[in-house]
């Protein structure tokens, strides 16, 4: 797992999607709009959309109530995503479940940084940052 911090910028909002069929299209569009607002280059905007798509599928499977809950932050060329609450121990599983044959762990490859907070008794919170710079792999 990568260490790091979430974007400490302006809270853009919190999204809660209760219908699983709407999670992917809604989150993907909201993330694309905020990535554009953060002035991310087009290739990173596309990466952000892929991250949103993978999160929408993975996070709702590990949510205690099945809802997709994502906080969004925008700050000087970065987009932060706060995903949760997730079931205890599920934060890292959302990342590892995005593995594709021949590609590896998609979420880890597309974000600049990610971490899991497990302090909340309600469960895990997954923090991801997508910046203008490129991605790092571990």
From CA 40, how far away is CA 12, in angstroms rounded? 15
> How does strand 68-75 pair with strand 78-86?
antiparallel
The whole-number pLDDT of residue 136 equals: 47
Residues 6+ positions from 29 with CB-CB distance below 8 Å: none
Give the phi and the psi of residue 63 in degrees, each rounded to 5.
-85, 140
* Domains, the chain: 10-131 (3.30.565.10)
The whole-number pLDDT of residue 8 equals: 52
Looking at the DSSP bridge assignments, the partners of residue 76 are: none
The whole-number pLDDT of residue 57 equals: 87
Which of 117, 55, 47 is closest to 89 using CA atoms?
117
Q: What is the pLDDT along the chain (138 residues), one digit of tens a residue?
A: 333 444 455 688 899 999 988 999 999 999 999 999 999 999 999 999 999 999 998 898 899 998 999 999 998 789 999 999 999 999 999 999 999 899 899 999 999 999 999 987 879 999 999 998 765 444
Residues 6+ positions from 100 with CB-CB distance below 8 Å: 106
Local structure of residue 134 (DSSP, 8 states) = -
Instruction: Using the structure block, give the residue that is written with the tokens 């209760």.
Output: 18
Q: Give this prediction's pTM.
A: 0.85
Which of 111, 91, 94 is closest to 56 using CA atoms?
94
């Amino acid at each position: 797992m990568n260490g790091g911090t979430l974007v400490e910028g302006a809270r853009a909002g919190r999204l809660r999607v209760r219908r699983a069929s709407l999670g992917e299209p809604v989150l993907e569009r909201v993330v694309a709009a905020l990535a554009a607002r953060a002035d991310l280059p087009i290739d990173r905007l596309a990466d952000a959309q892929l991250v949103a798509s993978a999160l929408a599928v993975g996070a709702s499977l590990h949510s205690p109530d099945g809802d997709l809950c994502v906080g969004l932050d925008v700050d000087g060329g970065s987009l932060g995503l706060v995903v949760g609450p997730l079931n205890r121990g599920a934060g890292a599983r959302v990342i590892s479940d995005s593995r594709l044959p021949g590609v590896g762990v998609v979420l880890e490859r597309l974000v600049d940084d990610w971490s899991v907070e497990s302090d909340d008794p309600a469960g895990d919170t997954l923090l991801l940052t997508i910046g203008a710079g490129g991605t790092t792999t571990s």
